[in-house]
Amino acid sequence: MQHAYRNAYEIYVDGKDIHDVCLTGLTLILCGKSQVGKTYIANLITKIFGGVLGQPFKSMTGKTEFNADCARAIHLSIDDQTGTRTYEQRKDHGQRLKSMLSGSAQWIQPKHVNAFTAPLYQRVTYSFNSDRDSFSTFPALSEGVRERILALRTNPEKWILFKNAVTVEERNNLDHIVNSELSGLLHYLMYEYIPPKFCISSSFGCKEFIHPDIERQVELGTPESTLKGLILDYLHSSHYLRSGLPEGINFSGNTSALFEGMLESPAHRDGVRTLAKNVISFGMRLGELCAIYPKHFRKTGRQDNCQNYDISIGGFQPIQGQFEGIKSARFLKG
């Protein structure tokens, strides 16, 4: 908040050119159960950044081409937008998010007016309920996106005033207390607060952080993860019996063989039909799994106009020399 507010202050109060200000920052993601204060915090942030709220979910996901209402707002909020989406859609969503935070020129399309481009200073807040459908819309944590995310779990137990504000009168009293202290908070952020060194980043103002529980829920909440688990469970089940494969490989064959085999398994038939309507869409899903989970899925070439795959439940052994010269702990962990 300190980094973001200082940028906004320099642009809109001091009158500095947007290109001369350190713009890059993080997306704030708040996760938790319903009624724990996610939207309340997002509304406070909107007040701090001028009181104008933009809701960019439809324009970011291609549901509308008009986004001029968001161009007027510093704070953009995406609140409990649900609906399962593919990995490619979530990846594209993450890339759009990166461009929104950079301060670079963006395409703006008002209604009944010709579109134009302009540099914008904006910050984005997401609110996610702790359920599978909400997390299926979470931006894909691809390279370059993860470094721009601060994902926190909300805990009302530590905010007694909010926890105890149940009635309308109590909630109005809380609003009065918080609003009366906002100017003091901003003065504190601008001139007194010194962030701990461990959370400072020269690139984004604050280092990225994704709570481990949130990352786990994102992983479990995606259709790709569901299909991965379904396939590995099928290969591990007694219904699937196959010998003569190299050690560590549990399936080696084409898309049709795996799809038809899973349809013959009563325990996996309904699941695979839900995620893939036919062998063509199943093949497209397998291609996505190779990109997302290279440890378990890999392409091995085409034969008779059909893609072949190797699948390993335990994960493929790394090729000798594959990681020479690579020092990224996160890459090696992945």
Q: Which two tokens stand for residue 140?
A: 């894909």
Q: 2-214: which CATH number, 3.40.50, 1.20.58, 3.30.530, 3.30.1310?
A: 3.40.50
The CATH 1.10.10 portion of the chain extends over 222-318
Measured at the alpha carbon of residue 139, what is the angle toward residues 28 and 195, in degrees to the nearest 5? 25
For 119-167, what is each residue's pLDDT tens digit? Answer: 889 999 999 888 766 777 788 887 788 888 999 998 878 888 888 888 9
Q: How many helices (H) and strands (E) does the chain have?
A: 14, 13
Q: How confident is the model at residue 37 (pLDDT cuts 50, 70, 90)?
A: confident
Other CB atoms within 10 Å distance of the CB of residue 175: 14
Instruction: Identify the CA nearest to 220 among candidates 23, 18, 84.
Output: 84
The CATH 3.40.50 portion of the chain extends over 2-214
Q: How confident is the model at residue 240 (pLDDT cuts 50, 70, 90)?
A: confident
Q: Which architecture, in CATH terms, is 222-318?
A: Orthogonal Bundle (1.10)
For 290-331, what is each residue's pLDDT tens digit? Answer: 988 999 999 998 887 789 999 999 888 765 444 444 444 443
pLDDT at residue 101 is higher than 90: no
Backbone angles phi, psi at 205, to 5 degrees: 85, -45
What is the arithmetic mean of pLDDT over 180-203?
90
What is the arithmetic mean of pLDDT over 59-84?
80
pLDDT at residue 219 is higher than 60: yes
